[in-house]
Amino acid sequence: MAKTAAPGYYRMMLGDFEVTALSDGTVALPVNKLLTNTTPAKVDQTLAKSYLKSPLDTSVNGYLINTGSKLVLVDTGAGSLFGPTLGKLLASLKASGYQPEQVDEIYLTHMHPDHLGGLTADGKPAFPNAVVRADKRDADFWLSQANLDKAPADAKGSFQGAMASLDPYVKAGKFQPFDGSTELVPGIRAVSAHGHTPGHTVFAVESKGQKLVLWGDLMHVAAVQFEQPEVTIQFDSDSKPAAAERKKAYADAAKGGYLVAGAHLPFPGMGHLRSEGKGYIWIPVNYMPLH
């Protein structure tokens, strides 16, 4: 038995843009204990309908967008910050035919360890030529020594991870925070979706009338939260606006019929939404080899 999977990348065209989903691996999460505004029994029951159970192998995905003039990476995976089953994004990127030196810009949906840990390898920038961008509200929160000092012991790691991962880019003058919703490069726009963290951001990618919205952590558990959009998670800084942003994003995606992608949707994490009753049905992207 070989006991290894293929490198995790999946590629598709969005208008003139090439989009490559990159797998950072999966991590087993006790989602029946982590999900909030529900009960463990209810979570177990809902998971069982999809032939799943807790702890649930949860994907961690990043997305590489080649606009033709810029190579943009949205989220970098966990690097070494989240245990041995993650940290594969760099290998997936290389397997997909690109080198980390080619990445021009990196956009962070937010500064949790499983989204920015891949910025560095052995304390050095993993993407030596890239400028890193994130909402300044997230930067002000996670890069604050005062916030680290007053954080409870079990939360300090997230602040330390953010500081260590971004520090080499800050020192090199390559960290450029943005303020709220703004176009970052032609065809890619940051859209504020605060709640999961103070500066959580989604990214709308558009080319030739085709649209893909990269949701970051608007949701974590597809088998539960599409059917029950009100279900939140302990990782939310503020679960009330996080739930409101999720409901808004679901409704807009179902109405607009455009593609969405989520950092924790089962890899490659891209698809469409259809509304059904009080919830939604997830329709994964149809497999298409590039011609």
Q: What is the 3-state secondary structure (H, E, C) of 193-259?
A: CCCCCCCCEEEEEEECCEEEEECCCCCCCHHHHCCCCCCEECCCCCHHHHHHHHHHHHHHHHHHCCE
291 pLDDT tier (thresholds 50, 70, 90):
low
- What pLDDT does residue 35 have? 97
The Cα 95–Cα 91 span in angstroms is: 6
- What pLDDT does residue 252 have? 98
Instruction: Report which secondary-structure segment, H or E, holds 85.
Output: none
Percent pLDDT > 70 in the chain is 100
Measured between alpha carbons, how far is residue 78 from residues 88, 121, 146, 184 in Å? 8, 11, 24, 24
Given a contact cutoff of 8 angstroms between Cβ atoms, the answer to whether 198 and 237 are in contact is yes
pLDDT, tens digit, 9 for 90 and up, residues 265-281: 999 999 999 999 999 99
Given a contact cutoff of 8 angstroms between Cβ atoms, the answer to whether 86 and 44 are in contact is no
Domains and CATH numbers, the chain: 9-284 (3.60.15.10)
pLDDT, tens digit, 9 for 90 and up, residues 90-144: 999 999 999 999 999 999 999 999 999 999 999 899 999 999 999 999 999 999 9
pTM over 0.85: yes
Tokens of 73: 């990476």
DSSP-derived letter for residue 110 is: -
6 pLDDT tier (thresholds 50, 70, 90):
confident
- What pLDDT does residue 289 have? 78
Among 278, 282, 255, 260, residue whose Cα is nearest residue 270: 260
The alpha-helical segments, DSSP class H, found in the chain are 31-34, 40-49, 89-95, 113-116, 136-142, 145-150, 156-171, 222-225, 239-256
Residue 290 has pLDDT above 80, yes or no: no
Please confirm whether the linkage preceding 84 is cis (ω < 30° from 0).
Answer: no
- What pLDDT does residue 250 have? 97
pLDDT, tens digit, 9 for 90 and up, residues 186-204: 999 999 999 999 999 999 9
pLDDT, tens digit, 9 for 90 and up, residues 14-68: 999 999 999 999 999 999 999 999 999 999 999 999 999 999 999 999 999 999 9
